[in-house]
Each structure stands twice: as structure tokens, then as C-alpha cells.
A and B are shown apart, each in its own frame.
Chain A
Amino acid sequence: MPSNKSVSDAPITQFVNCRILREHKLQREDLWVREGKILDPEKLFFDEKGSADQRVDCKGHIIAPGFIDVQINGGYGIDFSQATDYVKGGVSLVAKKILEHGVTSFLPTLVTSPPDIYHKVLPKVQVQSGGMQGAGVLGFHLEGPFISLEKKGAHPEEYLRSFLSDGMSDLIETYGTLDNVAMVTLAPELPNSQTVVRELTQRGITVSLGHSVANLSQAENAVQHGASFITHLFNAMLPFHHRDPGIVGLLTSDQVPQSRTVFYGMIADGIHTNPAALRIAHRAHPKGLVLVTDAIAAMGLPPGRHTLGQQVIEIQGLHAYVAGTKTLCGSIATMDMCVRHFKQASGCTVEESLEAASLHPAQLLGISHAKGVLDYGADADLVLLDDSLSIRATYIAGQEVWRK
């Protein structure tokens, strides 16, 4: 068919024979892409009198927006918090590998570390678009060191910090720079945290509450100052109590400003959260659920023993134990496993399970005009899945970057 495109000569790809996730529903529609963005075919037809240059037959599969992982500590033997000298290469390796799990954008996460680690690592990895080389980096997630001693979890105690008189200057002194930082996890009960929450929010950095013994009103206060996320709900915080629900109570709090949503990360590997707890959270606040992997360096490694840094780890199925014990030392589930497990454990719809890994993290980060959606004008970061929600292919900016 002769094409007479007036807006651009760039080639147009039409994905046919597919079901796309749009407006919260799976619809039998074709998906059109030009110059890395999703194209409105009706405008193309009537305004430009144009048509597709190539067609991709999706064989009836599902097209969803590419997954976004906002908490991932490493994988394939790489630990972002340890690999100081070759952190850039480490991030790139993981970025390339997670394309297989349908992840097209992520926040490399650093656990509590001494200031010189932050000073060395942060400038080395920039926010960058994804492509053939790997998933896009949206910025760092700095989990700590401004967290609670009682809820440090596996974070090194000696590097925990609190805010002295001027919270922000402590923060900047610790991290060195806030460039390329997308999210900070902190404990809101720490004195002087309010100004920090406000400042970070104003700078466009997402503030997350976690590793904390805050009560509900401290948590609500932080939300009112701008906090919008909860780091791995249930883990490293006070358990739900019916007279003081703590941070968990944010899911149903009436103190959250009307126009805002509090999102919460869930590690849906079936191990770190009991499926019943997952269901309680999901049913209480389905629109806030964000699937995260919180994956450690052992993710992606084959079963058996591995030495990672100072630790010897044993991988059995989806469990990663300290070798010779039954102590869990982190998650190794991949994002697509989390999506499948979440759907199966919660009984939610296919659409909800896919949105928990795409739309919700995009909304959390304030980028849902471009990512996590298949709306016209959004980035064409896509994942092709079959009905069992296994990944068949991954696309970034309309280019195929991985195929099964």
C-alpha cells in the first residue's frame, strides 16, 4: 500500500493478532509503534493517510507494558552495593539479563553503605534509556542508611545514620550527590526527617518508608510531607496491631491527601510474605500494590552453592539460604515469577497482575505518561506474554531486545 506519511518517514510497525493491556482491560487491538513510541493509528489513517511498514504477528499473545522493578540489589553474581570498582559493568550485566524477565526499566538498589561507597558509586551510573544493551536505568534506589536500628534486617549496623540538626545536609554529605537518585528509603520516626521528606519530594525523588518502627501517625505525617511508598510491606517494620497498625495502616489510612496514592512494594515470591498476608494487603488497597523482586546477587544463578562476597549461599528452588542453614538471605525470584505467583496467590485478574508490575510502579515514580502504559505517545517498552504469563519477547522503544 502506498504510504504518504506527512509527519515522519520513520518506519511504522504494527503488532497484529494480539491482546493489548489498555485502560485496565485486555483488548483485541493492534498496537502501532513509530520512533519508539506508541502511535495512534486513527490519526495516522485520517491525518497522514499512512499505513504500516512492517507487521509483527503476535500469534494471539498478550502485549503488556514492560515491567518496572523499583527494588533490585543485583543478580547473576553481581551485588550493586559491593561491586564498587566495576559497578557500571555490573549494572549493565544485570540490565541485560533482566530483559528475559520482562523488565524494561529498573532502579538499581543500594543497601546501607558507608559514605565513600555512595560517593564512588553514584556518579558512575547515570539515568539512561534502555535498548538492545539492557533495561533502562531510571535512577538509584537508596535503601538506607537513615533507617531504624531495630529494623535493620540484613543491613550493616555500623553504617546506619540518623539526621543531625539539618537533615538535608547530612543526607547530601552521606550520599555525595542526589543526581541519578530516583528513590530513598528512610525511617520517618528519625528526628528531623520531616524536612528531608519534604525536600526530597520537592526535588522529584520518591520517598519510601521502610526499615522502621514508626507508628501510624508518624507514617501518616511522613506521607503528608510527601512520602509515597512503603518498602517491602510487612518486612522490616512493626507488625500490624489493631490499636496501632503502624506503617501497614497506611493502606487504609484516611489521612492520606485525596489526590495522592500510597503505594507499597510486595515481594511476591511466596516465601517472604505469606500468601494470606499478600491477599490482605491486596484486598485492602489493590491500586497501590507494586511488585518488586528485592533480588540479591544470587538471583539468576543455578541451584547449588555459590560464594558471593563474604557469604556462601545455597540455592534450592526459589529459596536462597545461608549455606548449611535454613536462614533465608534474600529473594531470588525474577519479576515474571512474581507476577505469576501474585496472580495465583491473590486470585486477581491477568490485568491486575500485569499492572502491579508496570502501571503501578510507573505511577509511583510519576512517569505514567511515558512508561507502564500502552497509551498513544507513551514509550513502546513492551512485553509479549502467553496465557500462562511466561515471557515470549521483550521490546524497548519498539525494538525487539529479547526473544525466547
Chain B
Amino acid sequence: MTFIYASYFCILFSENCTKNLCSGNRLYFRGVFFQFNTSKMRLVILEDYNEASEWAAKYIRNKIIQFKASADRYFTLGLPTGSTPFGCYKKLIEYHKSGDLSFKYVKTFNMDEYVGLPRDHPESYHSYMWNNFFKHIDIDPCNVHILDGNVTDLEAECEAFEKKIAQAGGINLFVGGIGPDGHIAFNEPGSSLVSRTRVKTLAKDTIVANARFFGNDLSKVPSMALTVGVGTVMDAREVMILITGAHKAFALYKAIEEGVNHMWTVSAFQQHPRTIFVCDEDATLELRVKTVKYFKGLMHVHNRLVDPVLSIKDE
């Protein structure tokens, strides 16, 4: 418990301290250096899908604005697709349209894309990102990076993607989702936990889960995809996983209450220094009551990350 309070204490200080007083793990305050551990695993539990989407969007908004991005210093964001982040994207678009958030100095890297699906196919991840996010905001198309599943040399494409991430200075915040089989991106059960961006053959579970986007015709669902590796996401400075709905509950249980296991690749993030799991009540249905009560008890701490919510209008 002492560890928890110490971390809580440090959140208070770290949020109040100025840049030159706080460096990495050391805080200079009233003539004393405080060594504290900034590693966190947060489980943020909201009532329903809409509240979870809004919390996540506010968190991203605050992160981008606090970063004070500029032409020399972009904020790099890793992005997911699917039904889970849909609500979060809608909120981010709202914040942009109301003038509170700009993506002018944001670089994005998407997690994955199907192999062999035409880029303008309505179910490609390019289409998803364009229709649900990019077309509504002010991001520069040159700062958008999505793997191309239609090149002849898929491996070269994956390597180039890793290089682009490195060139951009790494990812500040990687937002992801979780599959019903506990996978992150297309890192299917059995994937290496130190994997990098590569071509993956999709698991049957994933193909079945995706069939609803292809008229429930399994033969039309792509069987391969390009995906960032578990290791690629682990390299991000911060990771936020969105998990909503009862059908994800078992995967969430495996991810945080069981051990690190490559059959449930999201469990790798137990070993990441800064991870936030944002979920709704339904997603917690397979967790122990004790776990849920514990993290719900921390909501007042978690909510300080999104309240007050910042705006570029205040600059």
C-alpha cells in the first residue's frame, strides 16, 4: 500500500512541478530530490462505452496539448481501428471541431492493415481511418503512416515502417485495442512478445470476428495482415489499451490477472512502464471483485488526468 501512496504523492507533485524541476524519475522539491518510480499500471473503469470513449479521448487530448508540439517536435501517436476506438475518434473530432484540439503537429502510425485488400475497399484500415478520423481533422497527410498491404515486398514495407517510427523519435502514446483472444494489433496467440512489424497469418478467431464486416462471408475476409509487433508497441513511451464490452471480459482477465503469456499477447504490457487500460463495466465482468473494487477506488486519482481538460484556446 505504501508504494501506491508514494506513487499517488508523486502524481500530485509531478503534475504541479515545472519542467526544470522534474526530470525523469527525480523530482526536486523544496531542496530535496525525490526518487520515485514513474512506472504505472492503471486500470480505469468507466460506466459504459460512451464514458470510456470520452475518458480516453480527453486523456489523449491532454497529452497532446501538454506536449506543446511544434514544427520541430511532433507528438507521435499510435492508432488502432475497429469498433472499440470508434467512440474515442468521434470525441477527438468533436474537440477539433470546437477548436480545442489541433493535429497539425501530430504524427500518426497505425497498428495494422490487411494484406491484398485494395486500399479503397470500404473495409480496409485506410478507409476506416479516412472516414472515421482523418477527413474530419487538420492532420497533414504527410504525417500519416499506415502499412501498405498491397506492395510486392511486404517485408521491406514492414522494415521501412519500423524505420519511420524510429525517425519520428519513437511513439509518445500508442493507443490500442484487444481482440477476444487477447491479441494486440494482429499479434495472434503464440506471437513472440518481442516481435517487430511483420506479416502475420490471421487466426481463425480473428477471421470469424471480422466476418461481420465482409457480409459474414468467411471467404471474403483477408487471411493475412501487416502488423506492428508486441515489441514495437512495448517501445512506446506510453500505452493505452481500450477494452469495452462483455465479449472482451475474458481477454481482459487473462491480460491483467494471469501471467505474461504469449497466448494472450496483451499480457506483455504488464511489463511496460506506463500502461493504462481504459474499460467499461462490462469488460470487467471476468475480473475478481477485489481487483475491480481496488481500481474503482483509485478513480479520483485517475480522473485528475482528464480534469481539467486542456484546450489550445487557452494558449
Residues of A within 8 A of B (CB): 1-2, 4, 30, 41-43, 45-46, 48-51
Contacts and interface: CB of A to CB of B under 8 A. Distances in A.
A42 B140 CA distance: 13
Given A2-B142, A4-B142, A49-B141, A43 B134 contact: no
B135 A30 contact: yes
Nearest to A40: B120
A134 B254 CA distance: 69
A46 B140 contact: no
A53 to B, nearest CB: 14
B198 interface: no
B141 A42 contact: no
Q: When A and B form their complex, which 3 residue pairs have the shortest distance between CB atoms, in order from nearest?
A: A49-B141, A42-B130, A45-B141
Given A30-B135, A41-B135, A46 B142 contact: no
B298 to A, nearest CB: 40
Contacts of B58: none
A43 B119 CA distance: 9
B130 A1 contact: no
Nearest to B127: A42
Contact of A46 (B104, B130, B131): B130
A51 to B, nearest CB: 7
Given A4-B142, A45-B130, 17 more contacts: A1-B138, A2-B140, A2-B142, A42-B126, A42-B127, A42-B130, A42-B131, A42-B135, A45-B134, A45-B135, A45-B144, A46-B119, A46-B126, A46-B141, A46-B146, A48-B141, A51-B140
Interface of B: 104, 119-120, 126-127, 130-131, 134-135, 138, 140-142, 144, 146
Contact of A50 (B130, B131, B141): B141
Nearest to A50: B141
Contacts of A48: 141
A51 B135 contact: no
Contact of A51 (B126, B127, B141, B146): B141
Contacts of A51: 140-141
A42 B120 CA distance: 8
Contacts of B135: 30, 41-42, 45
15 contacts: A1-B104, A4-B142, A30-B135, A42-B120, A42-B130, A43-B120, A45-B134, A45-B135, A45-B144, A46-B119, A46-B126, A46-B144, A48-B141, A49-B141, A50-B141
Contacts of A46: 119, 126, 130, 141, 144, 146
A396 to B, nearest CB: 26
Contacts of B140: 1-2, 51
Contacts of A1: 104, 138, 140
A318 B291 CA distance: 77
Nearest to A43: B120
Nearest to B104: A1
B314 to A, nearest CB: 23
Contacts of A2: 140, 142
A42 B127 CA distance: 8
A46 B140 CA distance: 11
Contacts of B126: 42, 46
A1 to B, nearest CB: 5
Nearest to A3: B141
A1 B104 CA distance: 8
Contact of A49 (B120, B127, B142): B142
A50 B140 CA distance: 8
Contacts of B127: 42
Q: Which of A4, A45, A46 has the most CB of B within 10 A?
A: A46
Contacts of A50: 141
A18 to B, nearest CB: 14
B119 to A, nearest CB: 6
Contacts of A30: 135
A6 to B, nearest CB: 12
A114 B118 CA distance: 58
Contacts of B142: 2, 4, 49
A49 B139 CA distance: 11
A8 to B, nearest CB: 16
Contacts of A4: 142
B115 to A, nearest CB: 17
B90 to A, nearest CB: 14
A58 to B, nearest CB: 16
A43 B118 CA distance: 12
A2 B141 CA distance: 9
A209 to B, nearest CB: 41
Nearest to B143: A49
